Structure 1
């Protein structure tokens, strides 16, 4: 209870600001200052949210999108870590791929969607590949920067103790780079979430992006806004879960070093 009270004292503004915004929005709609066909009142959006939850439609589409994100992100993150470690530790490899990576990395993820649809069709493979591409670059950059920024004193101590390369990597380099890697993971999952929505908006028969696009075609602005807000809230939940995981893993890492 004390912890919740303390949290409330520190974050009350974060709660008050949305309440004021919703109140002003609702009042503007009630007095006819905002056209309901363009921007429904929060109460109308809340009613539609309840209806979509009761019918299960929103849960089904969100579940499909989350599953796609999980599959694509796992593939992209694993490849990002594996390639990132090699690029960070092997200078010749870093030089060899610098031009190729420099050209490919700035390409927006959404630009790959038409190419992947031509190569792989509109099935799950193209969507998961889009997510994997977006996740790969973010994690790769964080891994490379994290490893290259490892304190040289750690490496010198490990060399003096004559540790082998695997021990050096798993016990010194990766633990020291873990904060940077987790930053990349959090940003990567954010990119993955935005990538799946972009892919579903263009070519999909299910998912939250498809639900938004289909509702737009039917001029159901309340459904569109429910979908948009669901994306935002789901992103917040995913980010908070990653924060909790990061805190647990990093505290475990610190305890291991202290012991």
Structure 2
């Protein structure tokens, strides 16, 4: 409990406390500014850009990870798939990779002379985009990298849920003439609803707060087109030395993330 208090509770409380203070521009410590940091955020165009990118980033990553993860989990759950144990072990490799290392790998893949553009040139695309320095593509490249890293956790969790489902229910449905799609939508999804809610809630929190992927691949560029709130908070704290302003951004992120948590708690209580 002492360790948890030191690494979680204290930074949490201290972050909220610091959000009500501002740092003097020319030194001299910090002073109490009340809600000034939050008022400044409301008129900060870069904050709104980061917020918009955060929603796009979170929705794309969580959504695609859930859909792709469910498809792969369903395939790995088929009894006649050979070498299933090997596939499950290989799937965990991206998850075991350090995010910064994974980001550098994908930075090389999306590079001007990287494998992706070399492949596109080979199949007939004469001028493939410069993914990491083009505003329309930089955030997309970061999303692909994050999906690759987060997908194994989703697959393993869903696969565990699929393997815990009662087989007699599926046998009865198959005898009654229910097809594959009907069994999936009327049996699998309802039976796994609680697990999917937990998975989406946790994945949304982790993805929304993700920092290292974007920092290592684009550093929020070009032109802040891939800026996220976590990265903007980091820049204010350690580049501009405005820790109060950075803490205010963190508090806003906390308030936003309370929404999916509240929704999850309500759903669980309704089921209970």
- With normalisation by structure 1, the TM-score equals 0.70
Partner residue, 1:217: 239
- The alpha-carbon deviation at position 96 of structure 1 amounts to 4.2
RMSD between superposed Cα atoms in Å: 3.4
Following TM superposition, the consecutive aligned residue runs of length 4 or more in structure 1 with deviations greater than 6 angstroms are none
Alignment of 1:1-259 (within 5 A): 37=29, 43-44=32-33, 46-92=35-81, 94-121=84-111, 122=132, 123-195=138-210, 197-202=211-216, 203-204=219-220, 205=224, 206-215=227-236, 216-241=238-263, 246=267
Distance 1:90 1:191 in 2: 32
**1:217 to partner: Cα distance:** 0.9
Question: Would the aligned equivalents of 1:49 and 1:226 in 2 still touch at CA under 8 Å?
Answer: yes
- Per the alignment, residue 127 of structure 2 pairs with none
CA deviation after TM superposition for structure 1 residue 101, in Å: 1.7
Measured in 2, the distance between the counterparts of 1:237 and 1:194 equals 14
**Residues 187 and 63 of structure 1: CA distance in aligned 2, closer, same or farther (over 3 Å):** same
SS in 2 for 1:89: coil
Higher helix share: 1
Inter-CA distance 36–83: structure 2 relative to 1 (3 Å threshold): farther
Provide the C-alpha distance between the structure 2 equivalents of 1:183 and 1:119, rounded to a whole number of angstroms.
32
Is the alpha carbon distance of 1:227 and 1:59 closer, same or farther for their aligned partners in structure 2, counting shifts above 3 Å? same
1:147 is displaced (CA, Å) by 1.1
Structure 2 residue runs without a partner (length 5+): 1-8, 22-26, 112-131, 133-137
8 Å CA contact retained: 2:94, 2:149: no
Partner of 1:10: none
Aligned length: 220
Q: Considering Cα pairs closer than 8 Å and 6+ residues apart, tell me whether 1 or 2 has the greater RCO.
A: 2
Distance 2:158 2:170 in 1: 17
TM, length-normalised to structure 2: 0.67
Separation (CA, whole Å) in 1 of partners of 2:175 and 2:193: 23
State the shift of 1:236 in Å. 1.9
Q: 1:241 deviation in Å?
A: 4.2
Counterpart CA distance in 1 for 2:188 and 2:28 is 56
- The one-character-per-residue Cα deviations of 1:15-34 (angstroms, maximum 9, x if unpaired) are xx99xx68xx69xx9xxxxx
Residues 176-201 of structure 1 deviation map (CA, whole Å, 9 limit, x = unaligned): 12222222222222222233x33344
Change (3 A) 1:64 1:221: same
